[in-house]
Amino acid sequence: MNPVRAGVLAGLTVVASVAAGFGPLAVAAPAGLLLAFVLPGYAITAAMFRREIGMVERSVLVPSLSLAVLVLGGLGLWAAGGHLNRAGWTLLCAVVTLIAIGVAFYRHAKDPEETGRIRFRISQDRLIRDVLPLTLAVLLLAGAGVWSYADSVGTYDIRVSTLSAEPPGPAGADGARTVQISATGLASSAGPWSMVLTGDEGVEISRQAITPDTGGDWTGRLTVPGDERVTVNLFRGGETGAFRTLIIAADAQ
């Protein structure tokens, strides 16, 4: 790495560190992303390779090595008793980047001929080797992102049905307990809904139809035996298998 590039990269690292550590959110966020995912990997790549590397290699190595710095450096910082906070991460990335810049600059100063300036020449071979794979990768990521966004929009309003119970009350003189059961997300179009209680041996204790409110919620109080485990089954429509199930344990007394 020649002196000009080393100076620019070191200055950018210092500015990004100050912005990430002390700046407002609008400035700290992009500076932190640059310091975490770009600068360490770029500096380490320059320190590791003397030969010219392609665009695809660099685009993969830079974020990969930056993530490696975060993972390994974070483990080392934690093992040494440091704090994994804003200041800790900023200092870690800045120090690693500056050290890598120093190594790259030293290697250039030691053998400037071998570590000479990288020349970028557009040729058919480079186009096929670098630009085309990178373009395909970008298109693949863009397609995956569009599909993911469309799927999230399509599934955003899907109802999630739940069945829950409050802790049962104490057993009465007859040994029965009262428990409050709640169900949510019960679409009227999927009804009619019914609730069936069964005991330890699978024997049906009670059955009742439930009618959710306009929001698809239902709450009611049921009486269950205190001396056996009770299974609460929620059925929808004409289905023979329970749609939701919960278990109320027997009274420990």
Reference 98, options 17, 211, 213; nearest CA is 17
Tell me the average pLDDT across 58-66.
85
Residue spans of the domains in the chain: they are 3-120, 124-157, 162-248
Q: What pLDDT is stored for residue 205 in this prediction? A: 87
User: Does the structure show a pLDDT above 50 at 145?
Assistant: yes
Q: Strand, helix or coil at 196?
A: strand
Q: Model pTM?
A: 0.48
Please state, in angstroms and rounded to a whole number, the distance separating the CA atoms of residues 57 and 250: 63
What span, in angstroms and rounded, lies between the C-alpha atoms of 40 and 69? 7
The matching CATH number, chosen from 2.60.40.10, 2.40.33.20, 1.10.357.10, 3.30.70.100, for 162-248 is: 2.60.40.10
Q: Hey, what are 120's tokens?
A: 């970028």
Q: With the C-alpha atoms ordered 82, 83, 84, 87, is the resulting torsion angle positive or negative?
A: negative
% of residues, the chain, pLDDT over 70: 84
State the pLDDT confidence band at 118, using cuts at 50, 70 and 90: very low
pLDDT at 162: 87
Give me the pLDDT at residue 52, please: 64
pLDDT of residue 166: 87
Q: Residue 114 above 80 pLDDT?
A: no
Q: Would the pLDDT of 170 be above 90?
A: no
CA distances from 47 to 51, 60, 106, 130, 223 (A): 11, 16, 9, 21, 73
| Cβ atoms of 212 and 190 closer than 8 Å | no
Type of residue found at 9: L
pLDDT of amino acid 40: 92
Size (the chain), residues? 253
